[in-house]
Chains A and B, each alone.
Chain A
Amino acid sequence: MIFKGKAYTFGSDVDTDAIIPARYLSTSDPDVLKLHCMEDADPEFPNKVKPGDIIVAGKNFGCGSSREHAPIAIKAAGVGCVIASSFARIFFRNSFNMGLPIFESDEASGAIRGGDMVEVDADSGVIRNLTTGARFQAKPIPSFMQELIADGGLMEHIRKRGSI
């Protein structure tokens, strides 16, 4: 699977309150959540982002709460995938459980600028900056997590295989 889109860059330690503030958590409706995606980090983000665009962030992306509203909001906003130096662990597992593709690459995170066109090959983990021509290799995704993404998330995986 290939993801291609414009990069929106964020710093390190982007927390789940920045991704989707708690004041909107009295709903889990993706169509409502997407209107506030990344609002406390960049109030204009929900208006600017186009389907397929890519979030690029520093270390510890998604730290804070366990809310799945965070990957839900990002997916619903149309973001194709997220690249970061590292992910906070609950955000990491939520993303695989829900089928939001995420890629860890310190080099890509440091070298991609806001507005660059970026392409990610999910199978090989190769990230290309189409604007500058640079090429990066994301950390390999463990085979169990590849299964989760291929099955369309954890619950689909259980439905298909009868157990985790």
Chain B
Amino acid sequence: MGMTIAEKILAAHTQTAGFQPGDIIKVDVDVALANDITAPIAIQEFRKSGQARIAHPDRVVFVLDHFTPTKDIASANQCKYVRDFALEQEMEHFFDGGEAGVEHALLPEKGLVLPGDLVIGADSHTCTYGALGAFATGVGSTDLAAAMVTGQAWMKVPSTRKFVFKGVLGPWVGGKDLILYLIGKIGVDGALYRVMEMEGPAISALPLSDRLSMSNMAIEAGGKAGIIAADAKTLDYVKPRATRPYTVYQSDPDAVYESVTTFDCTDIEPQVAFPHLPENARPVSQAGDVRLDQVVIGSCTNGRIEDLQVAARIIRGQKVAKGLRCLILPATPSVFRQASREGLIDIFLDAGAIVGPPTCGPCLGGHMGILAKGEKGLATTNRNFVGRMGDPASEVYLCGPAVAAASAVTGRISAPQEVVK
């Protein structure tokens, strides 16, 4: 019987033969990731185990990205605790200060996650790496501690749902719009416990950055992983970065899927997800008159150089609307550097935007751009839950970089065509 990519990767990482969806298996972990919120609990649990050293220090990655540069004394203490541990364990893959960026943008860029890898991360958006053809899933801090002690994790074998994207994308439509559209169709639990495998001509045409935004939001449909098979574009990205061998898997033609759903993308418009769930997606033309107080462009979903390039194409020569704050946070130091070299930072500053350091910051309502009571924010991030970006009585709308940039100029949710004729 044929196998899916997910099943092949699991099989390559477990001793258990002939497993079925629903079975619980033990797997060897290639990469185990935690951040400044989740690493402290993992370290405490690791300490309790009594083991002195991490089982495979080269497979553990810590990134201080959520409340950094530290926002208050508590977060400074939290980061110090992680830093002290990382230095004590002589961890090679510890990212702090000017080396830190938003984790799920940073790891692919550093070549730390490769096709065919089995990755667990104490962060729900670990599923981002599915776009590299890896099996990557979010877990809790205790799972991470277990991986630090044993090098292994337990997995309930998921079934797979396939989503095929046909057609050609319209102007200003990107990966973020496709994934918001998909979540709008299947709902925030539409792929609960399942692997989402995404393919089709529209996906093949997307740059890797847009595929990463799509896999990033698999969790927003409840998915365990959001896998896109590695192709020539993936390998162009991976090859110069990889420092260890990797395996490219394809699903067999007779692989068993729980369901196969096909979308024609030709008529899909740029999307906006309304508060307070990512599934409340609508075409931007049906957004109505939503006045905004803040626009955020950044995060592990859309803080890559390609996203900033799209935003700059729209903002160039324009001004941010009066009374609106537009925050632009390049996701990693090298994105920041490239944006600076290409003149994008000047375009943003000339328009009156704020350019901040690589950090999660406002995405989780952490710091650097918190919404007041009653305020409305539009963001290229991935979650718009109640209170996600600040006061419980504020609202977050989600979109891709083109709609975000256009809306920063007009002051209300707007299609890119309104600004770029």
Interface of A toward B, CB cutoff 8 Å? 13, 15, 17-18, 21-23, 25-28, 40-41, 59-60, 63-69, 72, 86, 88-90, 93-94, 97-98, 142, 144-145, 153-155, 158-159, 163-164
Instruction: Other than A72-B41, A142-B24, give 20 A-B pairs with Cβ distance below 8 A.
Output: A18-B385, A22-B365, A25-B66, A25-B364, A26-B67, A28-B44, A40-B387, A60-B192, A60-B222, A63-B189, A66-B121, A66-B141, A90-B138, A90-B219, A93-B140, A93-B143, A145-B24, A154-B154, A155-B149, A163-B150
Asked whether B365 lies within 8 Å of A28 as measured between CB atoms, the reply is no
Task: Report the minimal beta-carbon distance from A116 to chain B, rounded to whole angstroms.
Answer: 25
B-to-A contact residues, CB < 8 Å: 24, 26, 37-38, 40-41, 44-45, 48-50, 66-67, 71-72, 74-75, 78, 121-124, 126, 138-143, 145-146, 149-150, 152-154, 156, 188-189, 192-193, 219, 222, 224, 277, 364-366, 383, 385-388, 392
What is the chain B residue whose CB lies nearest that of A95?
B140
Point out the residue from B24, B48, B140 that lies within 8 Å of A68, measured CB to CB.
Answer: B140
A68 touches B193 (CB 8 A): no
Provide 16 A-B residue pairs closer than 8 Å at the C-beta atoms, listed in order of the A residue.
A22-B364, A22-B388, A25-B67, A25-B366, A40-B387, A59-B189, A64-B124, A64-B385, A94-B143, A98-B140, A142-B156, A154-B145, A154-B146, A155-B48, A155-B142, A158-B49
Contact A64 to B154, CB < 8 A, known contacts A93-B140, A142-B24, A144-B24: no
Q: How far is the CB of A26 from chain B (nearest CB, A)?
A: 4
Is A90 a contact of B140 with CB atoms below 8 Å? yes
- How many angstroms from the CA of A26 to the CA of B124 in the assembled complex? 18
Q: Which of these, B24, B122, B193, contacts A89 with CB under 8 Å?
A: B193
* Cβ–Cβ < 8 Å partners of A22 in chain B: 364-366, 388
Instruction: A24 to B149: give the CA distance in the assembly, Å.
Output: 28
> Which residues on B sit within 8 Å (CB–CB) of A93?
139-140, 143, 156
- Distance in Å from the Cβ of B49 to the closest Cβ of chain A? 6
Task: Answer whether A155 and B385 are a contact pair too, CB < 8 Å, given A66-B138, A68-B38, A89-B222.
Answer: no
- Chain B residues with CB under 8 A of A26: 67, 71-72, 74-75, 78
Complex: A21 Cα to B370 Cα, angstroms:
13
Min Cβ gap A143→B in Å is 8
Query: What is the bound-complex CA distance between A18 and B126, given in angstroms?
Result: 21
In the assembled complex, which residues on chain A have CB atoms less than 8 Å from the CB atom of B126?
66
Which residues of chain A come closer than 8 Å to B193, judged between CB atoms?
A: 89
Q: Which of A18, A88, A158 interacts with B146 by CB under 8 Å? A: A158
Q: Which residues of B contact A67 (CB under 8 A)?
A: 37-38, 140
Q: Is the CB–CB distance between A68 and B388 below 8 Å?
A: no
Q: Which residue of B lies closest to A148 (CB)?
A: B154
B140 touches A97 (CB 8 A): yes
A27 B154 Cβ-Cβ under 8 A: no
In the bound complex, residues from chain A placing their C-beta under 8 Å from that of B143 are 93-94, 97, 154
Residue of A86, A158, A159, A164 with highest tally of chain B CB at under 10 A: A164
For the complex, what is the distance from the CA of A98 to the CA of B142, rounded to whole Å? Answer: 8
B44: chain A residues at CB < 8 Å are 28
Residues of chain B lying within 8 A (CB to CB) of residue A60 = 188-189, 192, 222
B45:A155 contact, CB within 8 angstroms = yes
Query: Looking across the interface, which residue of chain A has its beta carbon closest to that of B383?
Result: A64
Residues on A with beta carbons closer than 8 Å to the beta carbon of B141:
66, 68
> Chain B contacts of A72 at CB under 8 A?
41
Alpha-carbon distance between A89 and B190 when the two chains are bound, in angstroms: 12
B159 to chain A, nearest CB (A): 13
B365–A23 touching, CB < 8 Å: yes
Determine the distance from Cα of A93 to Cα of B40 in the docked complex, in whole angstroms: 19
Q: CA of A18 to CA of B122 in the docked complex: distance in angstroms?
A: 19
Task: Evaluate contact between A94 and B387: CB separation under 8 angstroms.
Answer: no
Contact A158 B149 (CB under 8 A): yes
Question: Which among A28, A40, A144, A164 is the interface contact of B392 at CB below 8 angstroms?
Answer: A40
Residues of A within 8 A of B122 (CB): 66, 68
Nearest chain B CB to A162's CB is how many angstroms away? 9
Q: Which of B45, B75, B124, B386 contacts A65 (CB 8 A)?
A: B124
Indicate the member of B26, B49, B142 with the most A CB atoms within 10 Å.
Answer: B142
**Is the pair B41, A28 in contact by a Cβ cutoff of 8 Å?**
yes
Q: Which residues of A contact B49 (CB under 8 A)?
A: 155, 158-159
Complex: how many Å from CA A23 to CA B122?
A: 18
Q: Nearest 5 CB-CB pairs, A to B?
A: A26-B74, A94-B140, A60-B189, A97-B142, A26-B75
The residue of chain B having its C-beta at the shortest distance from the C-beta of A143 within the complex is B24
Determine whether the beta carbon of B192 is less than 8 Å from that of A17: no
Contact B139 A90 (CB under 8 A): yes
Give the chain A neighbours of B121 by CB distance below 8 A.
66
**For residue A64, which residues in chain B have a CB less than 8 angstroms away from its CB?**
124, 383, 385
CA distance A7 to B353 in the complex (A): 48
CB-CB < 8 A to A18: which residues of B? 385-387
Q: Which residues from A are CB-within-8-Å of B224? A: 89
Pick the contact of A25 from B26, B37, B188, B189 — CB < 8 Å? B37
